[in-house]
Chain A
Amino acid sequence: MILDAFLCGIDGVLILGCKDGECHYVTGNMEAKNKIDMTSRLLRIIGIDQNRIYFGQLSSAEGNRFVELAENFTKRIKEIGPLGTEIKEDKEGLKFRLEAVKAAVEGEKLRWVIGKKTEFMGIGNKYGEIFTRHEMDRLLDGLIMDEVAVREMQLLLQERPLSVKQISERLKIPSNRVLRYIAGLRRKGVVGLERVDGTSPLYGLQE
């Protein structure tokens, strides 16, 4: 939904929730916080200013604080300027990147990670490892970067089959990373070898 808003051309999204522990739906604000945190990390990875999303927490009795949050947010967004000013992409490029991010947040992997985030930090993963906030952040960023790149590749390949080199140039990702992603996608049967063009193999999406 947040990404829909950006895709509609909205420059900033302010989301407000209750304070910790005061959610009418028990854990709703925590879940929202985790989801929004993930979304803003994704934006950062594609070069969009993270401040375009803000999750504020306040109670319904804090009218003044609401005004303050809304005014500050508007001011901040005006300073950053219209969506896309911060990256060197044209309208199409921006849309492409946002679509990739949207695919990533809608995907299985990140939804599980967000859903299990609290649990990972509290009782640890299935190997009993407990993550500190710092470790979690590093882990998340790595994971998200891979996920966005993979989604971007999938979007690109939708148009036509490409070679590793072409993908690497289009997405500005080193070719060894592209190769790693291709290998992963081939294992899952999402991507396959389409044909060989001269010496370089071309990869395409499998039906």
Chain B
Amino acid sequence: MEDVRIGVFVCDCGSNIAGFLDVPKVVEYAKTLPHVVFAKENLYSCSETGITEIKDSIKEHALTRVVVASCTPRTHEPTFRLACEEAGVNPFYFEMVNIREQCSWVHMQSREDATNKAKDLVRIGVAKAALLDAQEFIVVNVNRKALVIGGGIAGLTAAIALSRRGFEVVLVEKEKELGGRLNDLNRLYPYGVKASELIGGKIKEATSSPLIEIHTSSVIKNVRGYVGNYEVDIETGEQDVHVSCGIIIVATGASVLEPKGLYNYNGRNIITQVELERRLQKGKIKADGIVMIQCVGARTEERNYCSRTCCMTAVKNASLLKEKMPDTKVFVLYQDMQCYGVEGEALFRKAKEMGVIFVNYDPDNPPVVGKKSVKVYHQLMGREMEIECDLVVLSTPMIPREDTDALSRLLRVPRDENGFFLEAHVKLRPLDFATDGIYLCGSAHWPADTRESISQALGAVSRASIHLARGSVKVDPIVSTLEDEDLCKGCGLCAALCPYGAIEIIDTPKGKKAGMISVACKGCGVCGATCYHRAIKMNHFTDEQVSAQIAAVVGK
């Protein structure tokens, strides 16, 4: 058995700690604990002087474990780990005890209680320190090639941005043509840019870039691996293609709801905004009266979200039609107008000035579409009005693509309650999936307009470039390990529960076993707490270490 020699350093933090509890007493107490061979008070443990004191003591007293009782590990754990490493002690032989935020600062009124609690905390920390294991950082190489799934505006923007940074890109598009939804559109709000010009420019740059390899009429068939090293099979119709890449960007866009059975939809004189856009592209529209109905199949019980882009689409197209045919009456029947942003508001105002008439309807008493007219209850006037028209346009929401589920299973990434892809964190990681090395942009995530899709694509590229540019990923070794292969029965419960897809059930000579993908593991501990064969060990938070801490809570 190795000789465990623990050194304990108790920090005054100036008066932050020493002002509210008796540090010398805590130091004296620490000396009485098992395995502790040295204990010392520091004025500021994290200062140059403090660090030197720690390093010198490690050498002088041949310490093999170090405990610092001071502030929060959030800020200073790396500092102290480094000090240990420099003094020849493995950085994971270090344990930090928080006696500032968790003790002196919250028990300022009671010096004695605070001192006692600090003693308890130190005892618990020492109990764990005695059982710590040495660990090495895990470093994996990152394959500098990227895969982009989806060749709409988001995917094309991402592929081009990556190639401009010098990275090789494989772009996979399901349809025969690149371009996505923009192929169907006429002009784009807010600036009236021609969709074909915008997307045409992108397609031209992507297809002429030597760094971008494009596969159209192709889909993803199989995905294996983890950040830095994904192995992907692509089905191209002819021969399957295999791609090894470091990161994956998902830009598969959204579908648009087809309003079957709603408002007598027929695709001839009662059409969707998408169909209107196609007619506008060709430029042949004749009508004396046009009625647009908003929120068709959106914000209902079944689909309770707002698709965000349809109101501006209606404002845009109503204005365009009014401009072309000033004598045509154009009505927009709405629940709420979603015209966010300065430009959106301005266009909405302009449409009203041009003579587009906006009528608010009550979802409980929706408009009724007849042969040559639409009836709607006008809430302000308090009576029903009948609008004569020869064209009805239904604004329907973006909905998740049909194959979103299949793709989410292949990539092992989650979807939200509406079926769109779900990011890792709304605020902190909006363009990442929880799984490292897979990113998300455009309307695959949530109804987004073109500008939003472009900026998300650039954002996703900048996130992905961190790994691609570094060429390697270094991860904390505080991860799960399959400690005892013989104990594992390959039952797969851990793999099913791991939120990061960091466990694969693999075939080994000893049968099916859990294969831990350390670089993908975040050390959450779910698998360790689940395996009933106790085959899995959580590095740095082993059962033995935590049990020892629990025992130390009572064991004075």
Contact = CB atoms under 8 A, between A and B. Distances in A.
B297 to A, nearest CB: 25
B466 interface: no
A25 B547 contact: no
A115 B496 contact: yes
B550 A4 contact: yes
Nearest to A119: B496
Contacts, number: 56
Contact of B554 (A8, A27, A111, A112): A8
Contact of B524 (A25, A107, A112): A25
B554 A9 contact: yes
Nearest to B543: A1
Interface stretch (B8-16, B80-88, B526-534): B526-534
Nearest to B526: A31
Interface string A44-80: 0000000000000000000000000000000000000
Contact of B532 (A4, A27, A108): A108
Contacts of B551: 4, 8
A1 B550 contact: yes
Contacts of A115: 493, 496-497, 530
A173 interface: no
A26 B500 contact: yes
A119 to B, nearest CB: 8
Given A28-B525, A31-B529, A35-B529, A8 B497 contact: no
Nearest to A6: B550
A92 interface: no
B526 A111 contact: no
Interface string A123-158: 000000000000000000000000000000000000
B553 interface: yes
Given A31-B529, A107-B532, A112-B493, A25 B550 contact: no
Contacts of B499: 25-28
Interface string B500-541: 100000000000000000000010111001111010000000
A207 interface: no
Nearest to B555: A8
A106 interface: yes
A87 interface: no
Contact of A28 (B524, B543, B546): B524
Contacts of A112: 493
B356 interface: no
B434 interface: yes
Nearest to B422: A26
Interface string A24-40: 01111001000100000
A201 to B, nearest CB: 31
A121 B425 CA distance: 25
15 contacts: A1-B546, A4-B550, A8-B551, A8-B553, A8-B555, A26-B414, A26-B524, A27-B526, A31-B497, A31-B526, A31-B529, A106-B534, A111-B532, A115-B497, A115-B530
Given A25-B524, A26-B500, A115-B496, 16 more contacts: A1-B543, A1-B546, A1-B547, A4-B550, A4-B551, A5-B553, A10-B554, A25-B522, A26-B414, A26-B499, A31-B497, A108-B491, A108-B532, A111-B530, A111-B531, A114-B530
